[in-house]
Homo-oligomer: A and B are copies of this chain.
């Protein structure tokens, strides 16, 4: 059953009449919608228009860029077909649940036996507040919840040559000590007059006030520890004043240990609290797109060739064991750039060279289901991540199922060399290494109560072969691929300034949709 315009509009409360030009009530700078369109408040996720006449588009790939492209073109009345090699939507947005089965390029097959309702996101797992991804969640009715991107109760554990070396320290204590000493040092320098050439008396007064608060300094300007570090025994009733953590480590140990190396993570534009995620897994977004697109998405369709031909673009693919082909007016190719050259094609040499310029990245995760939420019961950790300079890089605690009897911890999420230390291993070896390193951070309980696990390496994942592809977005190669090759367009996060983010894939898709429509319908 073909998807009708009405079904695309499901839930939008929109009745854009035929003949409405494909303008936009959006933040991406398209022309405004024609006056006869009924009013509705603009959202970042919203493109409104109508294709003049019949135009067919094949979209290669049902990941974020492909699904967004097909959805937006579909809303505008284009005849879209999505060809997807996998049997699920989402591409690198992949939530691992009970029954998830995958054979990787190492030749190993894993099948997840996570408990019902438990999962982890192998790929994208968090959404910044500013990203258009949230607008799509809203438009598609995908419920969201906060994602814990920092937690005072998770720990840091780094190698160094100080007494803090290879020991676990809560973020709250690490921050208290670091900010305490930084504040003490700056206050000392300022009060000595060492900065009088850049600080007025008023500045110094205001700075002292800030530093006293920021570092919890004593009246003598010194940092001597703080309740911010935490307690070994919580204050309670009556005369139970609690037991504070031991006095802080020395200034030199704190500074030289580098425990503050990750504090700025949460200041980054794309990582600052609050962060969000769909309830039930990031893949919910793509099942919601799928719900709108219906059988226009052809799963199990492995594209083998795409060629500009006089009638449009011919795409060859195999599906159900048979070689098939489709010729459409246009193609939007969201296949990862480093894999496009493998297709049969008649792309120009400079385009093929440009596609190869993308740098691929090793990254992946391992999910561990425990039958006991020891991080909650024993360490009072509810979400967030512990960080280390071991190969595992970080341990991410679940953002859902709080207080239940089990949960899935991400035992590593790492990139580059630290991930390469895992990607050639068998799953069993990966798990063993992850448990060993994790136990050095959270103790022997880390190895106990493990009921299930699943791992993936994007470089070894068929149809992806990279966690993300990146390049200098001012390079000639990048810019070349922003242009269509005759009737073939390229889209994906790799063609955006938000590489590895769904926002990048969506904005790229929306840009291609706008360009394609402008070509078909003329400028609005």
Residues of A within 8 A of B (CB): 27-28, 41, 43, 129-132, 134, 137-138, 143-146, 148, 150-153, 172, 175-176, 178-179, 182, 185-186, 188-190, 192, 194-195, 198-200, 202-203, 206-207, 209-211, 213-214, 216, 227-228, 230-231, 233-242, 251-252, 255-256, 258, 260-261, 263-264, 267-269, 272-274, 276, 372, 377, 380-384, 399, 402-403, 473-474, 479, 482, 495-498, 503-504, 507-508, 510-512
Report the 6 A-B pairs with minimum CB-CB distance, sorted nearest first.
A194-B194, A189-B189, A152-B272, A236-B507, A237-B511, A235-B497
> Once the chains bind, are A504 and B383 in contact (CB under 8 Å)?
no
> Once the chains bind, are B186 and A402 in contact (CB under 8 Å)?
no
A selection of 7 A-B contacts at a CB cut-off of 8 Å is A28-B236, A152-B273, A178-B210, A189-B195, A202-B252, A237-B508, A240-B511
> Once the chains bind, are A179 and B267 in contact (CB under 8 Å)?
yes
Distance in Å: Cβ of A285 to nearest Cβ of chain B: 13
Distance in Å: Cβ of A394 to nearest Cβ of chain B: 16
CA distance A430 to B134 in the complex (A): 34
> Once the chains bind, are B152 and A380 in contact (CB under 8 Å)?
no
Given contacts A256-B202, A256-B206, A384-B274, contact A496 B182 (CB under 8 A): no
Given contacts A198-B185, A236-B497, A511-B236, contact A380 B130 (CB under 8 A): yes
Within 8 Å CB of A237, what residues of B?
28, 482, 495-497, 504, 507-508, 510-512
CA distance A209 to B508 in the complex (A): 36
CA distance A210 to B474 in the complex (A): 30
Picked from B267, B474, B496, B504, the residue with its CB within 8 Å of the CB of A228 is B267
- The residue in A41, A130, A200, A209 that gathers the most chain B C-beta atoms within 10 A of its C-beta is A130
> Once the chains bind, are A508 and B190 in contact (CB under 8 Å)?
no
Within 8 Å CB of A241, what residues of B?
473, 497
Distance in Å: Cβ of A389 to nearest Cβ of chain B: 14
CA distance A228 to B508 in the complex (A): 23
> Once the chains bind, are A272 and B172 in contact (CB under 8 Å)?
yes
Distance in Å: Cβ of A128 to nearest Cβ of chain B: 9
> Once the chains bind, are A269 and B203 in contact (CB under 8 Å)?
no
> Once the chains bind, are B482 and A276 in contact (CB under 8 Å)?
no
Picked from B27, B216, B251, B511, the residue with its CB within 8 Å of the CB of A264 is B216
Given contacts A148-B146, A273-B150, contact A228 B258 (CB under 8 A): no
Given contacts A146-B383, A206-B255, contact A267 B507 (CB under 8 A): no
> Once the chains bind, are A258 and B206 in contact (CB under 8 Å)?
yes
Within 8 Å CB of A182, what residues of B?
182, 186, 210-211, 214
CA distance A292 to B371 in the complex (A): 28
Picked from B137, B186, B213, the residue with its CB within 8 Å of the CB of A403 is B137
- The residue in A151, A238, A495 that gathers the most chain B C-beta atoms within 10 A of its C-beta is A238
CA distance A202 to B41 in the complex (A): 57
CA distance A207 to B384 in the complex (A): 26
> Once the chains bind, are B402 and A276 in contact (CB under 8 Å)?
yes
| CB closest residue in chain B, given A496 | B237
Given contacts A130-B234, A274-B151, A377-B41, contact A497 B242 (CB under 8 A): yes
Distance in Å: Cβ of A508 to nearest Cβ of chain B: 4
> Once the chains bind, are B198 and A268 in contact (CB under 8 Å)?
no
Within 8 Å CB of A129, what residues of B?
151-153, 380-382
> Once the chains bind, are A263 and B203 in contact (CB under 8 Å)?
no
CA distance A143 to B131 in the complex (A): 28
| CB closest residue in chain B, given A148 | B274
CA distance A380 to B135 in the complex (A): 10
Within 8 Å CB of A144, what residues of B?
402-403
CA distance A132 to B235 in the complex (A): 11
Given contacts A198-B185, A234-B27, contact A209 B258 (CB under 8 A): yes
Picked from B152, B192, B273, the residue with its CB within 8 Å of the CB of A151 is B273
CA distance A510 to B238 in the complex (A): 11
Distance in Å: Cβ of A140 to nearest Cβ of chain B: 10
> Once the chains bind, are A203 and B236 in contact (CB under 8 Å)?
no
CA distance A195 to B188 in the complex (A): 8
> Once the chains bind, are A497 and B240 in contact (CB under 8 Å)?
yes
